[in-house]
Amino acid sequence: MDRANHRKLSYEELRARSHSIESIRKSPRFPVYVILENIRSLQNVGSIFRTADGLRITQLIITGYTGRPPRKEIEKAALGAVDSVPWVSYKSTQEAISELKQNDISIVALEQAVDSVDFQTFQYTFPTAVVIGNEYDGIEQETLDLCDHCVNIPMFGVKQSLNVGTALGVLGYEMYRQNKLNGNNL
């Protein structure tokens, strides 16, 4: 039996594989927008920036009372991703959604609702925007009413939801997988 080469890559090898901020700014983006609605934890915001960088999303949209850079708590979790992820800020999520819809961008809520479907069975169209809501209260009903679709991540334990940063990672990479199956790559 052949032995696999599971040698861990060195820091230098990983750095050689990574992009520079300048090259990322010139590269095509994954046609996904992420709307953060009233995220209370600055560490969660930083984690979402880092996931958004990993996916090379088109834009992170910060709404409501969600913390905005520059904040040391965001920077600590983001590990520099604040500089590589395009982001904008709106006072209200409704304003952001209105502008996205004018550009024919589908709006998908990540929320447990009566009509939400499993995030892995839903067929995403691109470009699309995903709304991520408050850690405790979720997405505001007024916002949910503006969304075109609603998906959820099934939960099988005592807790009924994942951390918002983790949830974006799970959903984002499923969207990436589906986009790649359709022949689209970054």
User: Would you state the pLDDT for residue 20?
Assistant: 86
Within-domain flag for 15: no
Identify which of 7, 5, 173, 140 has the alpha carbon closest to the alpha carbon of residue 64. Answer: 140
Domain count, the chain: 1
**Spatial CB neighbours of 129, under 8 Å, sequence gap ≥ 6:** 32, 33, 34, 35, 61, 97, 100, 105, 106, 107, 108
Residue 29 CB coordination number (10 Å): 17
- The CATH number given to whatever domain includes residue 119 is 3.40.1280.10
Residue 62's domain comprises 30-181
Q: What is the largest CA-CA distance in the chain?
A: 60
Residue 20 lies in a domain: no
- Are 87 and 61 spatial neighbours (Cβ–Cβ below 8 Å)? yes
39 belongs to a structural domain: yes
pLDDT tens per residue across span 105-143: 999 999 999 999 999 999 999 999 999 999 999 999 999
What is the C-alpha separation between 15 and 157, in angstroms, rounded? 38
Cα–Cα distance between 95 and 89 in angstroms, integer?
10
25 domain-assigned: no
Q: Is residue 9 part of a domain?
A: no
**Each residue's pLDDT tens digit, 140-186:** 999 999 999 999 999 998 888 889 999 999 999 999 999 999 888 87
Each residue's pLDDT tens digit, 69-105: 999 999 999 999 999 999 999 999 999 999 999 999 9
Residue 4 lies inside a defined structural domain of this protein: no
Any domain includes 18: no
d(CA 175, CA 186): 13
